[in-house]
Amino acid sequence: MQELLKAEKLNKYFHGPDTVQVLYDISLSICESEFVAIMGKSGCGKSTLLYLLSTLDTEYEGTIDINGTRVTGLNENAMARFRNEYIGFVFQFHYLLPEFTAIENVMLPALKLGNFDHEAVEKNALEKLRRMDMHQHAYKLSGKLSGGQQQRVAIARALINDPTIIMADEPTGNLDSVNTDVVFNIFSQLVQEGNTIITVTHDHDFARKGNRIIEMADGRIKT
Ligand SMILES: Nc1ncnc2c1ncn2[C@@H]1O[C@H](COP(=O)(O)OP(=O)(O)OP(=O)(O)O)[C@@H](O)[C@H]1O
Ligand SMILES: [Mg+2]
């Protein structure tokens, strides 16, 4: 299988009054069409690692290559462009804009990328919402949706630019078992279509359905 993402010797520090190291020498390699789950206790560094891998956090030591591009050290514009095009991110807390409708939230990353006109983007967004069984709520304010519904809108938003890699931080954290299955089935389908998924989860059943589990403890990958 073709290697898609390679991280080498990632070290991450947070600087406050004291400097704390939260990631230690993390090296990993992820292939095309892999469905990888990152697991480990609260506070072990899962979200921090995902932020690095997704290029949202650029303050770290080590290198990250995605799809043959050394993303470490790219300037801000090039990085944003790369991220918009290749990476769909589902946050631990969904970060929808509550005063915008569900479909407007989904459309935003595509309008930002600017490859398609408004009408095409809206059609695509509705399609993505349909996939999440959320099309009937498309024109409601996202702040008026339930937690699980908001999470599904956030997943639709992550898919809008047809990213190569989907990175998700506890995407099923707020969902009941029925909706967890909905998300899992969509992720499986995306993997079958050639996408790669890296997801943080506390859900062992969800993780076991993927191809591989990366287990973390105290900022390190357990071997
Ligand atoms: N901005 C920050 N400044 C200082 N320390 C931070 C910051 N963000 C996270 N940390 C610390 O880094 C460590 C790893 O945090 P992280 O959010 O990556 O954990 P996690 O594995 O995702 O936990 P959870 O399962 O609870 O989401 C924790 O000890 C946390 O307190
Ligand atoms: Mg976390």
- The pLDDT value recorded for residue 176 is 85
Q: Is 47 in the pocket of ligand 1 (CB under 6 A)?
A: yes
| CATH number of the domain encompassing residue 159 | 3.40.50.300
Q: Provide the domain count of the chain.
A: 1
Which atom of ligand 1 lies closest to the CA of 48? 18
Q: Is 48 in the pocket of ligand 1 (CB under 6 A)?
A: yes
| CA count, 13 A, side-chain hemisphere, 142 | 23
Give the distance (Å) from ligand 2 centre to CA of residue 53. 14
Cross-strand partners of 217: 220
- The pLDDT value recorded for residue 21 is 98
Q: Is 44 in the pocket of ligand 1 (CB under 6 A)?
A: yes
Give the distance (Å) from ligand 1 centre to CA of residue 71. 23
Q: What is the 3-state secondary structure (H, E, C) of the chain?
A: CCEEEEEEEEEEEEECCCEEEEEEEEEEEEECCCEEEEECCCCCCHHHHHHHHCCCCCCCEEEEEECCEECCCCCHHHHHHHHHHHEEEECCCCCCCCCCEHHHHHHHHHHHHCCCCHHHHHHHHHHHHHHCCCHHHCCCEHHHCCHHHHHHHHHHHHHCCCCCEEEEECCCCCCCHHHHHHHHHHHHHHHHCCCEEEEECCCHHHHHCCCEEEEEECCEECC
Q: Is 93 in the pocket of ligand 1 (CB under 6 A)?
A: no
Which atom of ligand 1 lies closest to the CA of 50? 18
Range of the domain at 13: 3-221
- Could you give the CA distance from residue 76 to residue 98 in angstroms, rounded to a whole number? 27
Q: Give, using CA atoms, the residue closest to atom 18 of ligand 1.
A: 45
Ranges of the chain whose pLDDT falls below 70: none
Dihedral sign for Cα 169, 78, 105, 130, please.
negative
- The pLDDT value recorded for residue 180 is 85
- The pLDDT value recorded for residue 173 is 84
> Which among 11, 13, 14, 21 is the best mutation to test ligand 1's pocket, defined by most ligand atoms within 8 Å of the CB?
14
Q: Report residue 101: phi and psi, to 5°.
A: -70, 165
